[in-house]
Structure 1
């Protein structure tokens, strides 16, 4: 499965910045050893259900240390029997784009 998620604390700081908390979450993801990718808004993670959800839970707990409330947005692509889809989906997309040129 692939999970795309965003996790952030509520914040009382003047600039609304949550980068330190997000960094703590992304460190948990990267340390997990599972295939992952982070963009400006979401982190994607690929693996089996239990291992992926464990990482999301630990990333959420890491963010909780930065505020009294945590927001978690999660989207999952559950496709048993498939691996390498974190990059495979993008490769197929790029191939389709190039075939339309």
Structure 2
């Protein structure tokens, strides 16, 4: 799935000079684990004024739905979602 220019710029800035490894790191420079990602997500959800209980999977679902609604090919959304069956992507 293509990235928008702002997303690409943010990812490149986050990666800095690194060419391998994780894009998002902790303040200490280590790979952020699932718990850290969830905690960071909660902070961002609160700042954005989204409903309490919004979690990373909710945002993943929203991104895939938005891509399909914007006309992205089902196959591209399926690959992005890493779904083995396109029927899962269209639920």
Q: Tell me if TM exceeds 0.5.
A: no
Greater relative contact order (CA < 8 Å, ≥ 6 in sequence): 1
**What TM-score does the superposition give when structure 1 sets the normalisation length?**
0.28
**What TM-score does the superposition give when structure 2 sets the normalisation length?**
0.30
Which protein is richer in strand relative to its size?
1
